[in-house]
Structure 1
Amino acid sequence: MTLESTDTSRSSAPALPLAAGVWEIEPFHSAVNFSIRHLGISKVRGRFTDVQAELVVGERAEDSSVTATIALASIDTGNKDRDGHVLSSELLDVEKRPTMAFRSARIAGADEEWSMEGALTIGEVTRPVTLAVEFGGVEIFPGQERRHAGFEATGEIRRSEFGLDFAPGLLGEVVKIQLDMQFLEPAEAAAKR
């Protein structure tokens, strides 16, 4: 079975060639990146290195979902002192907010262009988020039988909506997000090919 478009005006578009089932994250080729303005004049970029995610593919796009949990303590901005300050009680307060979690509510699109609406939770605050998703395709990694599916998702959040309004003027309000994700085909689907 394949993940099909929910857009009836584009029903002639080819379906994504994804077998139904649970696609697990391929962590070595996946990344959660972000950027935020510093002093309003430049950007600080970083990533989170501890990410758990899965893609559940149903019979149709509306029957499919994505969930992800990110350990905020795994932040890496390329500067250990800065990372330690961001994680402290003065800023992010990772003791109070150990994780960031996403759960999709709606997936729609066709061909390579998709959108995903869902809920993002940071600490005790949950807000709606929409991501633009580009489907990169499906390939078999050399030496493996399971196929890899690639996606790029982009979006942004406003810090104040999650109670993270510390350091106004020093840090920008908008955090831009870029996800590069690979998922592994369910083993049972690979065995049937």
Structure 2
Amino acid sequence: MTNDAQIPTTATPTALPLTAGRWAFDPLHSSVGFTIRHLGISKVRGRFNELSAELVVGESLADSSITATVALASIDTGNADRDAHVRAADLLDVEKRPTMTFRSTRIGGAGEEWTLEGDLTIGDVTRPITFDVEFGGVVDVPVDGSRHAGFDATGEFRRSDFGLDFAPGFLGDVIKVSLEVQFVEPQ
């Protein structure tokens, strides 16, 4: 989304066809992935296998919120030895930093293009982050009649801002994060 985009501040949830209330997170159809540069010449891609989230749709966007928590020990880059090393005290230190948590502070946008601003916490450090969000829509699931809403979100942060400045020169500072999430409408 460009800086020229108009983001309405008075929009209501009717701008998104979402029922007010607490939407249930659908972990079977959600994921969080990341990329980080290795040696400045290629990217390492991975995911976290344990994610939880909550979407509360209020009477206005100002009354709506999203939170998400990732278990950092659930890192999966497709290489068990590398994952074990990243979890260790000299790198990510999942004993000291068990989770990465996001809490929204502002939601804005219209149609399919949205911006989600909030606070990202890793360990005891919290910094602001902005995600570009694509609203995938709402669909009725024929099997059980439930309604699902889907979202894709992308953002990035500097690991050094969170005290994760290990292995400079080997690993890039910028981590790009990508989430694909579904929520189920309240009954």
TM interval, short-chain normalised: over 0.9
Distance 1:84 1:6, change over 3 A: same
What code does the residue aligned with 2:16 have?
L
**CA distances 1:31-54 after superposition (whole Å, capped 9, x unpaired):** 000000000000000001111101
Alignment of 1:4-153 (within 5 A): 7=8, 15-153=15-153
C-alpha distance after superposition, 1:126-167 (max 9, x if no partner)? 000000001000001221122000000000000100000000
Matched ranges for 1:143-182 at <5 A: 143-182=143-182
State the alpha-carbon separation in 1 of the partners of residues 141 and 86 from structure 2: 37
Opposite residue 35 of structure 1, the aligned amino acid is: T
Measured in 2, the distance between the counterparts of 1:78 and 1:106 equals 35
SS state of the match for residue 15, structure 2? coil
Distance 1:98 1:78 in 2: 20
Tell me which amino acid in the other structure corresponds to 2:50.
Answer: D
**Quick one: distance in 1 between partners of 2:7 and 2:121?**
26
Q: Secondary structure at the match of 1:18?
A: coil
Q: What is the alpha-carbon distance in structure 1 between the residues aligned to residue 116 and residue 127 of structure 2? A: 14
Following TM superposition, where does structure 1 have runs of at least 4 consecutive aligned residues deviating by more than 6 angstroms? Answer: none
Equivalent residue pairs, number: 180
**Structure 2 contact 112–136 (Cα < 8 Å) conserved:** yes
Amino acid at match of 2:61: A
Q: Give the direction of change, closer, same or farther, for the CA distance of 1:152–1:86 in structure 2 (3 Å limit).
A: same
Change (3 A) 1:8 1:166: closer
Q: What amino acid maps onto 1:180 in structure 2?
A: E
CA contact (8 A) 1:157 1:175 kept: yes
CA deviations over 1:57-81 (Å, ceiling 9, x no partner): 0111111000111110111000000
Q: Taking structure 1 as reference, are residues 110 and 69 closer, same or farther at Cα in structure 2, changes over 3 Å only?
A: same
Residues in 1 aligned to 2:15 and 2:126: alpha-carbon distance in whole angstroms: 32
One-letter amino acid of the counterpart of residue 182, structure 1 = Q
User: Whole-Å Cα distance in 1 between the matches of residues 24 and 165 of structure 2?
Assistant: 34
TM-score by length of 1: 0.90
Unaligned runs of 5+ in 1: 188-193
Identity %: 67
